[in-house]
């Protein structure tokens, strides 16, 4: 038996006992449990005392990390090794936010001069747009920026822009269009003034179907109003395909690049973050980078048992593989973080939703849980019923800021009271005896008391973690995102999978390309299953019938 298999076996034996543990009992036997089961980095507090773990659990999980050679994999990532083995690339997003003078090597070459040059180009452009030095074809300053992208070219910058919108100026708006469904782009264009609109086309290859269709429609809308010559002044690109960008009509000085060692879902720190720099100003974009870099240094140097991304990942693996919980709810108690669950869905499920190891063999155990969530307190009035009394146990992650950035009295106290109450109710619940006693005090008697007591019993023992920040600043958000990024990497190492490819999205793209000609009036593909053929023909017939009626 290998050391890694032995570590998994030891954890499995331990989990057999853990499944009988009670959070009530764990807290009763250790009044200092919060202090022992929480970590602090700068102003970020990570409380995992309401997880079903003991000191021995963490020791066994750290032993698993060592058996998986985590420290070596971590060093290889920071050193620019080709840890993305199926694409033969580095995964070097940490270089994008590196703030020190040290070189970061990829294939023997220091990438930092190129990174700094691209950041300087972003700074110059963002400051020129914000100051009005860069204007549209009719001499107007820009009031609206439309980012056209999808996946990592959309979710990351969109999430950050929404989270930090309270720091944005009132005279500049940033919009995000990702869906190829025209219902996403069309109503937005109807509200915009072409003379004051700047488009960012964000696509690594400049061939992404959804992005390029939206870009073509935006281009047609703009040129209908301002003429072909306006493209160079109203469009910028973020891409690695310089030739395709030029063919679109965007000049080199309006094209921003990044590198093949930057994965899309890890790319908001690059020129993909241009919407962030435009909305918030480049100084605040740099604060975001600095926050992420501080978490990078912590991840690279802190001991495993005191390392926030490592412990976060170990708990995720414990819940998924050893306790058997198949989903995880991310619950930000901050309206500004409303897009964080969607961002984490891509970051985690596209990274670790894998069924084979790096060597191509089956993983042999569950990998990434289903990640979902919603902002509190909205979720309390939607799906929390299931969290508290449903038949599935869903580990939860609560995120909040200690201090608000608004001046409305009474709101933040109620928000935080709800967060604390939910973590308490999930962990400790209410026994049937406690429910019966409360009903008796309310004057309920007899058979009704017995019936209602069963309905008002909460089993508890449902694990959760809580992350608290002082305030939602660019630096704090950068730290938080980097924490999740590194946690995803650690989980991938433990499962022996490549967290940096995404072959699972390719088959659907290939099949869509085969079906598209038929929907555009061409021939039906020869090899189709009966279901898809039936659906395709129904769509074509119904569209033709509706067209004939017009």
What are the catalytic residues? 350, 381, 509
Strand pairing class (38-41; 44-47): antiparallel
Q: Are 454 and 432 in contact (CB under 8 A)?
A: yes
Q: Which two tokens stand for residue 481?
A: 């995102």
Give me the helix-helix angle, 55-67 and 308-317, nearest 10°: 100
CA gap 27, 30 in Å, rounded: 5
CA nearest 506: which of 86, 185, 226, 127?
86
Q: Are 453 and 441 in contact (CB under 8 A)?
A: no
CA gap 462, 476 in Å, rounded: 28
Using alpha carbons only, give the angle 388, 25, 429 rounded to the nearest 5 degrees: 20
CA gap 77, 80 in Å, rounded: 5
Q: Are 475 and 444 in contact (CB under 8 A)?
A: no
Q: Are 239 and 245 in contact (CB under 8 A)?
A: yes
CA nearest 212: which of 186, 242, 177?
177
Q: Are 61 and 87 in contact (CB under 8 A)?
A: no
Q: For residue 408, how many other CB atoms are within 10 A of its CB?
A: 7
CA gap 200, 272 in Å, rounded: 9
Q: Are 430 and 457 in contact (CB under 8 A)?
A: yes
CA nearest 291: which of 120, 96, 462?
96
Q: Are 366 and 321 in contact (CB under 8 A)?
A: yes
CA gap 477, 483 in Å, rounded: 10
Q: Which two tokens stand for residue 169?
A: 């100026």
How buried is 217 (Cβ within 10 angstroms: 0-12 exposed, 13-18 middle, 19+ buried)?
middle
CA gap 282, 295 in Å, rounded: 20
Torsion-angle region of residue 51: left (phi > 0), alpha (psi -120 to 50) or beta? beta
CA gap 176, 155 in Å, rounded: 9
CA gap 299, 46 in Å, rounded: 14
């Amino acid at each position: 038996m290998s050391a890694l298999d032995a570590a998994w076996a030891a954890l499995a034996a331990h989990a057999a006992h853990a499944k009988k543990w009670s959070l009530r009992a764990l807290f009763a036997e250790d009044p200092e449990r919060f202090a022992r089961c929480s970590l602090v980095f700068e102003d970020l507090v990570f409380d995992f005392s309401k997880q079903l773990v003991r000191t021995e659990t963490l020791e066994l999980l750290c032993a698993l990390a060592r058996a998986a050679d985590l420290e070596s994999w971590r060093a290889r990532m920071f050193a620019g090794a080709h840890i993305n083995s199926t694409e033969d690339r580095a995964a070097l997003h940490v270089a994008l936010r590196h703030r020190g003078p040290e070189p970061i090597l990829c294939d023997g070459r220091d990438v930092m001069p190129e990174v700094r040059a691209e950041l300087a180009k972003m700074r110059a452009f963002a400051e020129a747009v914000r100051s009005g030095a860069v204007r549209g074809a009719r001499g107007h300053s820009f009031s609206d920026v439309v980012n056209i992208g999808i996946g990592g070219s959309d979710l990351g910058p969109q999430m950050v822009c929404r989270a930090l919108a309270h720091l944005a100026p009132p005279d500049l708006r940033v919009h995000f269009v990702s869906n190829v469904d025209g219902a996403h782009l069309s109503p937005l264009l109807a509200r915009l003034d072409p003379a004051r609109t700047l488009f960012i086309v964000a696509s690594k290859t400049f061939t992404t179907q959804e992005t390029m269709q939206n870009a073509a429609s935006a281009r047609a809308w703009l040129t209908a109003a301002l003429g072909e010559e306006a493209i160079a002044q109203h469009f910028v690109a973020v891409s690695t395909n310089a030739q395709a960008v030029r063919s679109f009509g965007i000049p080199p000085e309006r094209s921003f690049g990044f590198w093949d060692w930057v994965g899309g879902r890890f790319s908001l720190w690059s020129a993909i973050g241009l919407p962030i720099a435009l909305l918030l100003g480049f100084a605040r974009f740099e604060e975001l980078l600095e926050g992420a870099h501080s978490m990078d240094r912590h991840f690279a140097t802190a001991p495993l048992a005191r390392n926030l991304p490592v412990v976060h990942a170990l708990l995720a693996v414990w819940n998924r593989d050893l306790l058997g919980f198949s989903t995880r709810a991310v619950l930000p108690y901050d309206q500004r973080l409303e897009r964080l669950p969607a961002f984490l869905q891509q970051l985690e499920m596209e990274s670790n939703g894998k069924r084979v190891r790096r060597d191509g063999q089956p993983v042999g155990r569950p990998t990434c849980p289903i990640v979902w969530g919603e902002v509190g307190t909205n979720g309390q009035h939607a799906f929390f019923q299931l969290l508290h009394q449903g038949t599935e146990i869903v580990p939860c992650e609560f995120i909040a800021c200690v201090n608000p950035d608004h001046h409305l009295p009474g709101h933040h106290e109620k928000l935080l009271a709800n967060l604390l109450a939910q973590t308490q109710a999930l962990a400790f619940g209410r026994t049937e005896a406690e429910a019966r006693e409360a009903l008796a005090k309310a004057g309920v008697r007899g058979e009704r008391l017995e019936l209602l007591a069963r309905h008002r019993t909460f089993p508890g023992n449902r694990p959760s973690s809580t992350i608290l920040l002082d305030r939602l600043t660019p630096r704090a958000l950068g730290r938080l995102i980097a924490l999740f990024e590194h946690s995803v990497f650690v989980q991938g190492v433990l499962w022996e999978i490549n967290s940096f490819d995404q072959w699972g999205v390719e088959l659907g793209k290939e099949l869509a390309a085969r079906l598209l000609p038929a929907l555009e009036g061409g021939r039906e593909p020869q090899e189709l299953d009966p279901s898809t053929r039936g659906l395709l023909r129904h769509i074509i017939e119904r569209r033709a019938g509706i067209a004939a009626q017009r």
